[in-house]
Structure 1
Amino acid sequence: MPFSLSPALTYSCRLCRKFRFLASFSTSCALSTVDCFKEVDSHVSDYPELQRSMWGYAISGDFNSALCTLNLMKIFDGKPTVYDCNALLYFYLKSNNACWQELVEIYMGMKRFGPRPNASTFNTLLRGMSVLGNLEHAVFIVEEMCRSDFVPSFTSLSKTLKMAIKVGNLVHGVTVFELMLRYDYHPSEPTLNKFISMLCQVGMVSKAWFVLSLLLRKGCVYNVFCYNQILWALCKSGQSCVALQLFCWLKKKGFVHSVCSYTALIYGFCREGLQDDVFQWLDLMQSDGCKPNVITHTIIVKFLFDNGKFEEAMDYVGKMEREGCQSDLLTYNVILRELCRRHSLDVISKFIQVMVQKGLYLDSYSYAALCGGLLKIGKTVFACELLQDIFSSGCTVDVALYNIYLRCLCRQNKSREALSLLKSMMEAGFKPNNASYNTILSGFCTEKNLKEAFELLYHFEWDVNWPDAVSFNAILCTACRLGNSTIIQRILYHMRYENLKLNVLSSTCLVQYVCRSGNFSECLKLVEYMMPCSPTPTVVTINMLLHNLCKNQLLGIAYRIFQSVRNTEVLPDMTSYNILIHASLREHNHLLVGQLLGEMRRQKLKPDVFTYGSLINGLCKEGKISAALQMWNQMLLRGVVPSVAIFNTLLHAMFWRGMFWEILSLLKVMVVEGFQPDDVTLRILNQAVLNGSVNKFPKAAKVLEWMICNDIQKETDQRAVAG
C-alpha cells in the first residue's frame, strides 16, 4: 500500500510464533479426550445433548470441560463443526471468566487441526478481544482474518482503531488504519480527529497531513478542526512556512478557515520572531471577516513582552479591551509574569487589585508565574514568604507550585529542610514528580553535600521508579567541579549500569575536569568515545579542549582533533580557528597559519576581530610593523571594527621603534572611530611622554595636546609634563 508508517504488518508472524505452544497444548487436550470419554456414561452419546452440555460449561466459564466436551463430538462423523467451535467461543465470551489465552488456543487449534475458521469465528474472536480490551490480540485477529481472505467489517476495524487510539498505541493504530484504507473504509470524523491528534503529538505531522489529504482525495469532507490540528502542530514545531502553504492550499480548495486557523499561523510567526508577518496576518484575518479572540491577542502580547517591547504590549492590551475583547486570566498571567521579570513589585500589587476588581482571581498558574518570576529576579525570601501565605490560605495548588517552594528553600541552602518538607507532604498524600527530587538533589550539589545527594539518589521513591539523566548529571557535574574522581567513577558506573548516555552537559563537564587535571590522554579517549555516541559534543566542548591543549603547548594534538571533528556533525566555528591561529603564531608556525586561513576561506568563514587581532599581534612581535599596518587596513576595508586591544598592540610596537608619526595617525583614527583608550593605552602614552622621547620628535607633541584635550591624561602626569 502507498500509505505505510511502520513495519506493523510483520507483527502477526511474530505473534504466531509466540503461540506455537498452543498447538501442542491443543494436541494434549485432544489426547486427553480419550480419558474423558471413558469417564462419560455410554448413554451420553447424543450429539444435541453434547452440544447443550458444551454450551452450559462454556457459559459458566468452565473452559476445560467445554473443550473436553467439544472433543467428545468427534465420535460423530463430521463433528465438531465450525459452528460448534463458534458456539463455544460465543457462550464462553458471555461468561465473566473469559480469558484471551483460551480464545487464542481455540483459534490456533481450529487453524491447525480443523474445522477451518470462518468469518463468524473471526468476528466473534474480534468482538471478544474488544470486550477484554486486548488491543494486541485484536490486531492479530484482524490480520489473520485478512490473510484468510475474509473481509473485516467496517464496525470491527473502527472499534479496533478506537481501541488503539484510546490506549495511545500508534503502531497498532497505523496498522488498522492501513487495513481500513485497503477496504476503502473511511473512519468517522471523531475517530479521525483523535488519530490525527495522536500522530501530531508524536511529531509525525507530515504523516498526519498525508492521512487527511488521502481521505480528502477520496471525497471525504471533514470539518475545520481536523486540519487545524495539523496547522498548530506545524507552527509549534517551527514550520510556519509549511503551515502557511497548507493554509493557502486549503483556502484554494474552498475550505473556510476559522479563528483557530489564523491564530495558529500568528502563533508560528511569533514563535519564529517574524513581527512583520504577525501584524500583517492579524490585519488579513480581520479583513477576511474573522475576528481575533482573546487567545490570538494573548499570543501577540506575550510575543511583544518576549521581545522587550513592554510599552507596546501594554498599549496593545488597552487597544484590545477597547475593541471589546476582554482579557482573561491567561492574559493577566502573562502580564504578571512580565512584571515580575521587570522587578515591578509595586505595580504587581496594584495589578492584582485590578484583577480582583474584574472578578479574576489568581489561580495556581498565576501564583506560579508570580513566585517563579520573583525567584528569577533574586527575590527568594519574598517568594518564599508569599508561598507560605498561599499554602496557609487553603488555596488549591499543584505540584509546580510546590516545586517552586522547594527551589526557594534550596536557593537559601536549606536543602535538608526541603527534603524533610517533601517527606511530610508525601505522608499527607502529595505526589511529587522527578522535578521535585531533582530540585532537592541539585540543592545538595550546590551545597557541595554529595553524601546526602547520593542518599537521595538511591534511597527515595522516585516518580518513575528511578533517577533520570538530570539526576545523575547534577552529581556528575558537581563532582567534576570539585575534582572528586571517586564520585565521578561511581556515577559513570551507575550510568552505564542503567544504560544512560552522557549528554552534552555531562560530557562537557568531564572534558573540563580532565583538562584541568592535565590528563590529556584520558581526555582524548573521552572525546573519542563521545564522537560516535548520541548526542555528540557541542562545538563549545571541542573548543574548550582545543584551548587547553594549545595552552599546554600541544598544538599538534589539537590540530589532529580539529581535523577529525570536521568529519562529524560538529563543525568547527570561528572560535575553533582563532584558538589554533593564536597558538600557531605563538609557536611561529606560519605554515599552519596559512593552512587554517585557507580552510576558513573554503568553509566561507570570514575572519573576525579576534582573528585579525592575533595576526596583527604576531606580526608586531616579529617587528613587521608595516605588514601589521597592512593587515590593519585590510581589516578596516572589510568592515571589521577593531578593538582597543588591537590599537594598543600597534601603539606598543610603534612606541618601541620610535614611530611617533604613526602613533599620532593611529590616535586620530581612534578619535574618529569613537574609541576611548583604556588603562593600557594610557600607560603606553605616559611612558612615551615621561622618558623624554617627545623631545626627539617635535611633531609628536600633538600627542600630548590630544591627550589633554580629551581629558584622558592624569593630573600627576600633566604636572610632570608642565615641569
Structure 2
Amino acid sequence: MIPVQRAFLSRAIAARLFPSRTSLRFNSSILSLVEPPNYSSDDVDRDATDKLPDAKFRSCCPGVPRAGLFLLVSVVQRTLDWTTVREIRFAEAAGAYGFPHAVEAFSMLMGVFSSAGMQREIRLLLAGVLSFVRNVDCDLLVVLSAVVLHAGGSLSSLNVYGTAILLLAEDSMIEHALEVYFEAKRMGLPIGAPLSNLLLKVLVRSNNSEMAKDLFNHMKICGPKPNVYSYTIIMYMYTTQDILDINEASKILDEMEMEGVKPNVVTYDTYIRGLCRAGDVKSAKEFLQDLQSRDLPCNTNCYNALILGFCREGELEKALSVVQEMKERGPKPDVHSYSILIDGFCKSGDVAKGSNLLEEMLSNEITPTMVSFSSLLHGLCLKGEMGCALSLFNQLSGQGYAHDLISYGILIDGYCQLGDLDGASRLWQQMIQSNFVPDAHSYTSIIFAHCRNGCLKEALEQFEFMLYSGVMPSVVTCTLIVDLFCKQHRMLDAFAFLDKMNEWGIVPNIFMFSVILNGLFKEGKSVYTWGVLGSMIKKGIVCDVVIYSILIDGLIKSSKLEEALKLFAGMSKVGLVPNIFVYTIIINGLCKIGRLPEALGLFEEMIIKGFIPDRIVYTCLIDGYCSRKDMKKASELFDKMVHSGLVPDAHAYTCLIDGYSKIFMMETAIALLDDMLKMNLCPTVVTYSVIINGYRKLGDWDKAYEIYKIMLNQGISPDSVMNLSEISSFST
C-alpha cells in the first residue's frame, strides 16, 4: 500500500475546495463521502445561524452546494491535520460558500481541534473569523453564539468568549473586546481575573485611562475581585508621564492594604519610579528604606529606579551613594545600575568618572553592554573629543562588540555638532558598508550640520535624498529646514515647505510654529503672525510661555508696546505664569521709551513672585536710567546687582560710562573704564566712543585723542559708531 503524503493531501483538498469560479462543481461521489455531524449546544440560541448575514458572499458563487466545506471538516476529523486547514483563509471560504456556511464549518473545525486539546489551532481559526468580522457589517455577539452552537458541545461558551476577548485585546480592538467581555459577564460566564487584567493592561497601554478606571471599578463591584496584578496595572497608569498622579498611586497602596492584597516587588518598583518621575526622589528613597526596614520585597530594579531618579535630578553623588549601599547591603548592583550611573556622569561632562565606573564594572565581573559604552561615546562627543570617541569606537569593534545605529548615530551627530562634515561623511559611509540603513536621526544630524553652516542648498539635497531613501523625516528635521528658510529671509519658501509637510502627513508642533512666528516678526511682517497663531490653535496646540515671549518681543520691536502689554496681562487669564524672559522683554521695552516707573514696578513684581533677577534685566534698567541721565538710580541698581552676586559685564559698564559721559562726569567714567580693565573685561568700540565723545563735547581734545590712541593700541578700530569728524580731527 502506497502511503499518502499529508502535504499532497492538503494541496489536493485546497484545490478541490477552491477551484476557479467557472468550475466550482462537486460530483455526487465526493458529496456522498460527506456526512456533517449533527452538533448541538445548550449554551446559545438555536437561531444564531439564521441571524448571520449572507450578504454578497454567497451571491458571488451561485449554485455552490452548502456541503462544500464539510469535506474539509470530515478529513480533519479523521486526521487532525492542521496543514490541511491553514491553507484556507476564512475570507476565502466566506467569499466562496457564503458567510453563514463558513462560520458553521470553521466552528466545526474548532470543535474537532478542541476535542484533541489543540488550543493553538482554535485560537488561529477564531482569529481568522474575528479578523473578517471587523471588516464587515456584522453583529460580533451573534457570530460568537453561532461558533458555540456549531462547535457541537466541544467548545464551551466560556472558551469561545474568553478566547475572543483575548484575541481582540491583543489586536487592540478594545471596544469589541469590552463588548464581548460585558456580554460574557451578562451571560453569567465566570470570567476570571487574568482575562480582566489583560483588558486593563491593554486599556492602560493605549492611554484609555477613563475606561481602565471604569473596568477596575466594575471588577471591584461585580467581580472578579482585583488581585495584586490588577492593582499594579492601575498603579502603573497613575505613575506614567501621561497621567502621573502620585496621590492616586498612594491611594492604591492604601486600598491594597485595606483589601488584604499584598503588593509584590513590581508594585513597589512601579511606585518608586512614579515618585522619581514626579521629582520627589527624596520620598522615593525614604519609601525604599521603609521597605527594607519592614523586610518587604524589593530588588535591584527598585534601587535602579532610585539611581535613575537621582541622575535625572543631577544629584549624581546621591546616585553613587545608592550603588555603594547596594554593594554593602545588597542586592548587588547589576549592569543596569552601572549603566545608569555612567550615563548620568557622562551627560554631566564628567567622562573620567564614567570611565572609572566602567572599569569598576569589569573588576566586579559585570560585562558592560553597548548601552554602557554608548554613554561614554556620547559623553566624549559632548566634550568635542572626537578623536577619543573614534578611538573607543574602533577599539570596541576590535573587542567583538557589534555597533548599531545608535552608536554610529552618536559619532555622526558629534561630528555634525562641531561642523565637521568630512568626519561625519566618513562614519556615514562606514555605516552604509556595515549594512545599516540610516534612520531619521542620522539624516537629521547631517541636515543640522548643513543648517548650522548656513548651507541651505546642501541641507535640502540631503533632505531630498532622505525622502528618496524612504525615510520619513521627523518634525524636528523639518523644523531645521524651516528655521534656515526664515534666517535667510525666505518666508515664502518656508510656507511652501509647510504645505509639503502637510502632504507628507507631518504635523507641525509648537517649536515649528515658534520658528515661523519669530521669522515673521524679524521680517517685519507681524500682520501675518495672527493667522499663523490661529492655525496653530486650530491644530489643538496650546500657546505656551515661549510663544507668548516671541509675540510680546515681536510686538515691542514692531513699536506696538500697548498690544504687547495687553498680551502680557492676558497670560494669567489662560493660566500661564510669565517667566523671567517675558518680564525682561517687557521691562526692556518700557525702558527703551522712558517708562521707567512702570519698568521698575514690574521688576519689583518679578522679585515678589520669586524670580531672581539676572544680569540682563539689571542691565536693561541701568541702561534705561542712564539714557534719562538719572545716574543716581542707575548706580543704585548697579551696586544692587553686584551685591546680589552678579558680575557686571562689558555692556553693563558701558551703559554706566555712557551715562556719566553724557553729564560730563568724565573722572567717574574713566574710573569705571579702569575697573573694567582690572576685571579683565574688554571695552568695546562703543565704550571708547562714548568717552571720546564726552571729552570732545567738553572741548578737551587732548584727552579725547589720548583715549583714541589707547583704543587703537588695544587693537580696536573705529567703526560707524564713531563720528567721522572725530576720526579726521585725530588724524590731522
Is TM-score (shorter-chain normalized) higher than 0.5?
Answer: yes
The Cα of 1:332 is off from its aligned counterpart by 1.2
- CA change 1:468–1:186 in 2 (3 A) is farther
Corresponding pairs, count: 602
> Which range moved further: 378-387 or 171-180?
171-180
Q: How does 1:592-603 map to 2 (within 5 A)?
A: none
CA deviation digits over 1:2-41, x for unaligned, max 9? Answer: xxxxxxxxxxxxxxxxxxxxxxxxxxxxxxx9x999x999
Q: Secondary structure at the match of 2:384?
A: coil
C-alpha contact 1:89 1:103 (8 A) present in aligned 2: no
* 1:182 corresponding residue in structure 2: 186
- Does residue 277 in structure 1 map to residue 272 in structure 2? no
C-alpha contact 1:383 1:408 (8 A) present in aligned 2: no
* 1:160 corresponding residue in structure 2: 164
Counterpart CA distance in 1 for 2:438 and 2:131 is 32
* 2:406 corresponding residue in structure 1: 400
Counterpart pick for 1:97 among 88, 91, 103: 88
- Does residue 295 in structure 1 map to residue 286 in structure 2? no
Counterpart CA distance in 2 for 1:128 and 1:68 is 32
C-alpha contact 1:154 1:185 (8 A) present in aligned 2: yes
The Cα of 1:588 is off from its aligned counterpart by 6.6
Counterpart CA distance in 1 for 2:617 and 2:495 is 39
* 2:132 corresponding residue in structure 1: 137
* 1:245 corresponding residue in structure 2: 251
**Percent identity (aligned):** 16
C-alpha contact 1:339 1:345 (8 A) present in aligned 2: yes
> Which range moved further: 140-149 or 608-617?
608-617
Counterpart CA distance in 1 for 2:256 and 2:471 is 47
The Cα of 1:239 is off from its aligned counterpart by 1.9
The Cα of 1:333 is off from its aligned counterpart by 1.1
- CA change 1:565–1:531 in 2 (3 A) is farther
- Does residue 313 in structure 1 map to residue 311 in structure 2? no
Q: How does 1:597-676 map to 2 (within 5 A)?
A: none
- Does residue 388 in structure 1 map to residue 394 in structure 2? yes
CA deviation digits over 1:583-626, x for unaligned, max 9? Answer: 456557799x69x989x99xx96898699998999899889999
* 2:228 corresponding residue in structure 1: 224
- CA change 1:183–1:403 in 2 (3 A) is farther
C-alpha contact 2:415 2:421 (8 A) present in aligned 1: yes
Amino acid at match of 2:91: W
Counterpart pick for 1:195 among 196, 199, 203: 199
The Cα of 1:129 is off from its aligned counterpart by 7.6
C-alpha contact 2:310 2:318 (8 A) present in aligned 1: yes
The Cα of 1:329 is off from its aligned counterpart by 0.8
The Cα of 1:153 is off from its aligned counterpart by 1.7
The Cα of 1:646 is off from its aligned counterpart by 12
CA deviation digits over 1:421-472, x for unaligned, max 9? Answer: 5466446432443223322332332333333332332334789752232221
C-alpha contact 1:234 1:243 (8 A) present in aligned 2: yes
- CA change 1:495–1:590 in 2 (3 A) is same
Q: Secondary structure at the match of 1:304?
A: helix
Amino acid at match of 2:287: W
- CA change 1:123–1:255 in 2 (3 A) is same
* 2:444 corresponding residue in structure 1: 438
- Does residue 70 in structure 1 map to residue 65 in structure 2? yes
The Cα of 1:403 is off from its aligned counterpart by 1.6
* 1:535 corresponding residue in structure 2: 541
* 1:266 corresponding residue in structure 2: 272
C-alpha contact 1:294 1:327 (8 A) present in aligned 2: yes
The Cα of 1:381 is off from its aligned counterpart by 2.7
The Cα of 1:504 is off from its aligned counterpart by 1.7
Counterpart pick for 2:366 among 350, 357, 360: 360
The Cα of 1:484 is off from its aligned counterpart by 3.8
- CA change 1:346–1:426 in 2 (3 A) is closer
The Cα of 1:177 is off from its aligned counterpart by 3.0
C-alpha contact 1:339 1:347 (8 A) present in aligned 2: yes
* 1:22 corresponding residue in structure 2: none
CA deviation digits over 1:155-179, x for unaligned, max 9? Answer: 1222222222333443443343333
Segments of 5+ residues of structure 2 without an aligned counterpart are 1-20, 37-57, 77-83, 113-120, 150-155, 669-678, 696-732
Counterpart CA distance in 2 for 1:344 and 1:649 is 39
The Cα of 1:570 is off from its aligned counterpart by 5.9
Amino acid at match of 2:141: E
- CA change 1:607–1:163 in 2 (3 A) is closer
> Which range moved further: 214-223 or 516-525?
214-223
- CA change 1:432–1:588 in 2 (3 A) is closer
Amino acid at match of 1:103: A
- CA change 1:222–1:89 in 2 (3 A) is farther
Counterpart CA distance in 1 for 2:291 and 2:148 is 51
C-alpha contact 2:440 2:471 (8 A) present in aligned 1: no
C-alpha contact 1:92 1:98 (8 A) present in aligned 2: no
* 2:343 corresponding residue in structure 1: 337
Counterpart CA distance in 1 for 2:299 and 2:123 is 47
* 2:520 corresponding residue in structure 1: 514
Counterpart CA distance in 2 for 1:495 and 1:235 is 35
Amino acid at match of 2:234: I
Amino acid at match of 1:144: V
Q: Secondary structure at the match of 1:68?
A: coil
- CA change 1:189–1:349 in 2 (3 A) is same
CA deviation digits over 1:309-333, x for unaligned, max 9? Answer: 4444333322321113211111111
Amino acid at match of 1:481: K
Amino acid at match of 2:263: H
The Cα of 1:253 is off from its aligned counterpart by 0.4
Counterpart CA distance in 1 for 2:256 and 2:517 is 52
Counterpart CA distance in 2 for 1:128 and 1:263 is 34
CA deviation digits over 1:65-94, x for unaligned, max 9? Answer: 9962527xxxxxxxxxxxx69858956996
Amino acid at match of 1:133: G
Counterpart CA distance in 1 for 2:196 and 2:100 is 37
Counterpart CA distance in 2 for 1:154 and 1:312 is 53
- CA change 1:539–1:309 in 2 (3 A) is closer
Counterpart CA distance in 2 for 1:412 and 1:613 is 32
Counterpart CA distance in 2 for 1:226 and 1:349 is 42
> Which range moved further: 393-402 or 163-172?
163-172
* 2:42 corresponding residue in structure 1: none
Q: CA RMSD for the aligned pairs? A: 5.5
- CA change 1:98–1:265 in 2 (3 A) is closer
Q: TM-score, normalised by structure 2?
A: 0.66
Counterpart CA distance in 1 for 2:123 and 2:331 is 53
CA deviation digits over 1:499-555, x for unaligned, max 9? Answer: 433212221122222222222223343334333333234322322232232233222
The Cα of 1:385 is off from its aligned counterpart by 2.0
* 2:487 corresponding residue in structure 1: 481
C-alpha contact 1:304 1:312 (8 A) present in aligned 2: yes
Q: Secondary structure at the match of 2:65?
A: helix
C-alpha contact 1:546 1:558 (8 A) present in aligned 2: yes
The Cα of 1:352 is off from its aligned counterpart by 3.0
Counterpart CA distance in 1 for 2:398 and 2:336 is 24
C-alpha contact 1:403 1:435 (8 A) present in aligned 2: yes
C-alpha contact 1:565 1:571 (8 A) present in aligned 2: yes
- CA change 1:136–1:276 in 2 (3 A) is same
* 2:10 corresponding residue in structure 1: none
* 2:215 corresponding residue in structure 1: 211
- CA change 1:202–1:375 in 2 (3 A) is farther
Amino acid at match of 2:416: C
- CA change 1:138–1:565 in 2 (3 A) is same
C-alpha contact 1:127 1:156 (8 A) present in aligned 2: no
Counterpart CA distance in 1 for 2:619 and 2:348 is 38
Counterpart pick for 2:453 among 432, 438, 447: 447
C-alpha contact 2:168 2:174 (8 A) present in aligned 1: yes
- CA change 1:195–1:435 in 2 (3 A) is farther
- CA change 1:648–1:367 in 2 (3 A) is closer
Counterpart CA distance in 2 for 1:561 and 1:653 is 32
